[in-house]
Amino acid sequence: MGVPRFTRPKTPAAESPSPYLYVANCGPAVGLSYDSIASVFNTFGEVKGIYAADESGTRVIVSYFEANSAQQALTALNGKSCADLDGRSLHIRYSVIQPNSEAESQQVNEHIPVSLMDSEVNIPGLYLVHDFLSPQEEKELLAAVDERPWISLSKRRVQHYGYEFCYGTRNVDTKLHLGELPSFVSSVLERISSFPGLNSSTSILLDQLTVNEYPPGVGLSPHIDTHSAFEGLIFSLSLAGPCIMEFRRYLDGSWVPDAASSAYTKVENVENCSNLVRRSLYLPPRSILLLSGEARYAWQHYIPHHKIDMVNQNVIRRGARRVSFTFRKVCDFIVSPCSTFLTALIFNKYVLLICMQ
């Protein structure tokens, strides 16, 4: 957060000396840790930071305090084999700061530590259960959806069961019931009904399923599932490939009703990151995630658009595809932010409105 965004200059003319270097053939995906890169570049002057130049894991930005240090490093290291970096030949150019909007569209993010366990993420209401399915059950579920028609969105494919989710309104048409959830998810629903962590008296009724298929490098934009469309428990089963899911929440400030979605959104610009908290969780295949309470209502969740994820010091490839099954319960009545069916809950400093049964 708050880290400047850099890129490779588009034209050689833009390559005037700067304190920032774009270094190719260098990074965690080729076995070089940020620490080892920093120790080599530190010999030419004080390094301010090393950042991923993109999601490849093979290109980094080395940011110096002084342009002079960058110049020395470039002269000494460019195109030569570097003994302290496994003998790799680095390809180095000056880098430029990217305009914000461009950086945002590429979603070049500063890495945040990735948690493996729900308890490390420390978000109330978020639960992750590993190995919720066996490899055989995973195979059968994938085969079942692959036999059914997919709907192609611009970057991923989806299937809807129970009720169709409309991406334009981020809502469901409750009058258009597509039928019961398919029999191939019966055993999953049964296992969900005794989900660990939930109070045994909590009845778990789920009547909407969205299956998402993500090709490598495709993620999901930050969102909170529409408060008025779905009830309080959202289960997401991960199949085929892994990913990381990130969560973000504003620490303070006011939340306002969003007329289009009936969700609550924060007014300030997301790029003003000073009051934004982010967490990251690794979702392996066959795991299931539950978003409830604060995790469901207050935190946005999203999947960064990466082909590889850095999970601590390990490079994890996304795989040929990731397929998720998201189970939700559609709210039985239409609510608006002013509805008498709304009640206010206070989570930390801000107010959220949720629909009551």
Ligand X SMILES: O=C(O)CCC(=O)C(=O)O
Where on the chain is the footprint of ligand X (CB under 6 A)?
A: 210, 212, 220, 225, 236, 301, 324, 326
Q: How far is the CB of 118 from Fe ion (least distance, A)?
A: 17
Structure tokens that stand for 114 in this block? 């990735």
Q: How far is the CB of 223 from Fe ion (least distance, A)?
A: 6
CB 191 within 8 A of CB 132: yes
Please name which of 153, 168, 233 lies closest in space to residue 197, comparing C-alpha atoms: 233
* Other residues' Cβ atoms within 10 Å of the Cβ of residue 46: 10
> ∠ CA 230-231-234 to the nearest 5 degrees?
85
Residue 32 or 263: the one with the smaller Cβ distance to ligand X is 263
From the list Fe ion, ligand X, none, partner contacted by residue 58 (C-beta under 5 to 8 A by kind)? none
Q: How far is the CB of 196 from Fe ion (least distance, A)?
A: 21
Q: Is 10 helix (H, G, I), strand (E, B) or coil?
A: coil
Which residue(s) pair with 266 in the sheet?
255
Q: How far is the CB of 274 from ligand X (least distance, A)?
A: 26
From the list ligand X, Fe ion, none, partner contacted by residue 300 (C-beta under 5 to 8 A by kind)? none
Residue 255 or 302: the one with the smaller Cβ distance to ligand X is 302
Residue 152 or 221: the one with the smaller Cβ distance to Fe ion is 221
Segment 189-248, which members bind Fe ion (CB under 5 A)? 225
Helix (H) or strand (E) holding 245: strand 243-250
From the list Fe ion, ligand X, none, partner contacted by residue 210 (C-beta under 5 to 8 A by kind)? ligand X
Residue 210 or 292: the one with the smaller Cβ distance to ligand X is 210
- What is the distance between the alpha carbons of residues 121 and 115, in angstroms, rounded to a whole number? 6
Q: How far is the CB of 263 from ligand X (least distance, A)?
A: 12
Count interface residues toward Fe ion (CB under 5 A): 1
Residue 19 or 232: the one with the smaller Cβ distance to ligand X is 232
Residue 70 or 323: the one with the smaller Cβ distance to ligand X is 323
- Quick one: how many helices (H) and strands (E) in the chain? 7, 27
Please name which of 107, 145, 349, 357 lies closest in space to residue 252, comparing C-alpha atoms: 349
Residue 92 or 290: the one with the smaller Cβ distance to ligand X is 290
Would you mind telling me the total number of residues written for the chain in this entry?
357
Q: How far is the CB of 132 from ligand X (least distance, A)?
A: 13
Residue 96 or 263: the one with the smaller Cβ distance to ligand X is 263
Question: Number of C-alpha atoms within 13 angstroms, CB side, residue 293?
Answer: 14
Please name which of 55, 101, 116 lies closest in space to residue 287, comparing C-alpha atoms: 116
For 189, list phi and psi in degrees, rounded to 5.
Answer: -65, -40
From the list Fe ion, ligand X, none, partner contacted by residue 212 (C-beta under 5 to 8 A by kind)? ligand X
Q: How far is the CB of 356 from Fe ion (least distance, A)?
A: 21
Place of tokens 């055989």: 136
Which residue(s) pair with 350 in the sheet?
347
From the list ligand X, Fe ion, none, partner contacted by residue 236 (C-beta under 5 to 8 A by kind)? ligand X
- What is the distance between the alpha carbons of residues 294 and 296, in angstroms, rounded to a whole number? 5
**Binding marks (x or -) toward Fe ion, 41..70, rule CB under 5 A?**
------------------------------
Binding site for Fe ion (CB under 5 A): 225
